[in-house]
A and B are shown apart, each in its own frame.
Chain A
Amino acid sequence: MTFLFYIFAALALVGGIGVVVNRNPVSAAFAMILSFLGLAALFIQLDAYLVGVLQILVYAGAIMVLFIFIIMLLDVQAEEKRRFPLFNILGAGGVAVAFGALLLVILKRSEVGTASIPPIEPLEGPGTSDVHRIGELLFSQYWFPIQVVGVLLLVATIGVVVLSKKELK
């Protein structure tokens, strides 16, 4: 099933390039959704069903809907006509080259493709699905970070409500 990997990896990459290349913000947002879907499929191919499905549910299904909602309410025409200054193009190119070089150095040093990976033994029996295992880990080993993240999100939600109500003084 390697060809599925290539299909979905290509989908994710094409989506990613589309986000950068497209002038129209709505097109760019849709390219981003395409990229998320490809990524989710890659997760699912690794048997990480929960991560893959959450990728679709949270990113493609919720966050991007809000993005598109906002973009559609803005004036798209202005963004389409904007020209890129030379400095931005040079800066972006510089960052891309630097990142590529960094990636190359890291890959050269790592043992990817050379080190032998021990075969993963499939788990059998009840309670071995990735949902069960992730849930157990989150509520035993990682209970404190989860609580912290929960409080952080709550604070953020309250903050947004307060900030959006401008007449509140």
Chain B
Amino acid sequence: MDWQIIIAASIKVVVFVFLVTLPLVAMSVWAERRVSAAIQDRVGPNRVGPAGLLQAVADGIKFLLKEDFTPNHVRKGYFWLAPALVMVPALMTSAVLPFGSSLFGEKMVIADLDVGPLFVFAVASLSVYGIVLAGWASNSKYPFLGGVRSTSQMISYEISLGLSVVPLIMIYGELNLSSIVLYQAQNGWALLPLWGDGLSLKGFLLFIPILISFVVFMTSMFAETNRLPFDLPECETELVAGYHTEYSSMKFALFFLGEYAAMIIGSGLAVTLFLGGWSLPFGWLTPESADAVVPWWHGLIHIGTFFAKVILLILFFIVIRWTLPRFRYDQLMRLGWVFFFEIALFNVVLTALLMWWLA
């Protein structure tokens, strides 16, 4: 193993995860508050810095300085472990997301695995432990109920989430996220097949299952990240604050940030799979092959494109949160098991039939 590879990987980890994703988490909290305020005809936080942009810094300082209170009745070790277990998997999944083509000959992805989407699902499925553990270790009623709800919810929607991606993988014939993005850059995004090979009967017919996939994927992503309209684990009217009722100070903030980090990574995955990742539309500035040398300013534009798409998707997440009311728990479970599971399964068969007929 060369030291060069290790150093390059470390730089990518530090820059992408700590200097971009984490500030993006803080900024999406700010965006959430501003957008919700706009939707409800309020002003929102606008005092700290220009347009309230530094509100996230103020929030962070406040969380750090507050008393970190651990109640007496909790199971201490697990109680302290839980917030970290929410945050870590969310950030770990960012390792396989290609956030740009290449810059100075270096591929803009931390780990170019051949099992990209599977890795994301595998690590993301670990984040449920943080919530379960928080609910159990708190040793009181409402957090426990929140934890139990969250577990069953995440298990249920993981199935439709995984199945919704299968048609795409069948179409791409590839599990490497970088190759998936390059294919989309050359042959039309999954949701915008208007150039390259996408501009054919095959492209248009396969657009139907992809659209179904996208709807199922996005909805399941809402459920997986415990966002409204599926935030039953922390439903205030029934469970006080759900699994983080007993938490205070920075530990509470970690749950909060973990949710946003999961949302950002989820958006990143949706962008990579459905919206062409870092590529510009209509094949502009598209590299010839995976190993082609890209001018540095192309590389920067690609990185910018990726984050622009991610931010747009985050705004979509936020707008949905403040538009739809919360589901009832039995409705949520029925939606997951009776509708989405079957739709996703049917979609796989439909894609297979279409591909067999077109071949």
- Docked complex: A14-59 residues within 8 A CB-CB of B: 26, 30, 33, 49-50, 53-54, 56-57
B132 within 8 A of A: yes
Closest residue of chain B to A72 (Cβ to Cβ) is B136
B129, B132, B154 interface centre (most CB from chain A within 10 Å): B129
Contacts of B123 in A (CB 8 A): 56
Interface string of B107-120 (1 = CB under 8 A from A): 00000011100110
- Pick the residue among A30, A49, A73 that contacts B115 (CB under 8 A): A49
Assess whether B125 is in contact with A65, with CB atoms less than 8 Å apart. Answer: yes
Assess whether A62 is in contact with B129, with CB atoms less than 8 Å apart. Answer: no
Assess whether B126 is in contact with A56, with CB atoms less than 8 Å apart. Answer: yes
Assess whether A61 is in contact with B126, with CB atoms less than 8 Å apart. Answer: yes
- Docked complex: B144-166 residues within 8 A CB-CB of A: 144, 147-148, 151-152, 154-155, 158
Q: How many B residues have CB within 8 A of the partner chain? A: 26
Check A53/B122 contact, CB under 8 A, given A65-B129, A72-B148, A129-B175: yes
Assess whether B151 is in contact with A131, with CB atoms less than 8 Å apart. Answer: no
Closest residue of chain A to B127 (Cβ to Cβ) is A61
Q: Smallest Cβ distance from B99 to chain A, in angstroms?
A: 20
Assess whether A57 is in contact with B1, with CB atoms less than 8 Å apart. Answer: no
Check A53/B128 contact, CB under 8 A, given A26-B136, A69-B151, A73-B148: no
A9 within 8 A of B: no
Closest residue of chain B to A44 (Cβ to Cβ) is B113
Assess whether B118 is in contact with A57, with CB atoms less than 8 Å apart. Answer: yes
Closest 6 CB pairs of A and B: A61-B125, A129-B114, A57-B122, A56-B122, A49-B115, A53-B118
* 13 A-B pairs in the complex with CB atoms less than 8 angstroms apart: A49-B115, A53-B119, A57-B118, A60-B126, A61-B121, A61-B126, A61-B158, A62-B155, A65-B125, A65-B132, A69-B152, A130-B114, A131-B114
Interface residues of B (CB under 8 A from A): 1, 78, 113-115, 118-119, 121-123, 125-126, 128-129, 132, 136, 144, 147-148, 151-152, 154-155, 158, 175-176
Interface residues of A (CB under 8 A from B): 1, 26, 30, 33, 49-50, 53-54, 56-57, 60-62, 65-66, 68-69, 72-73, 129-131
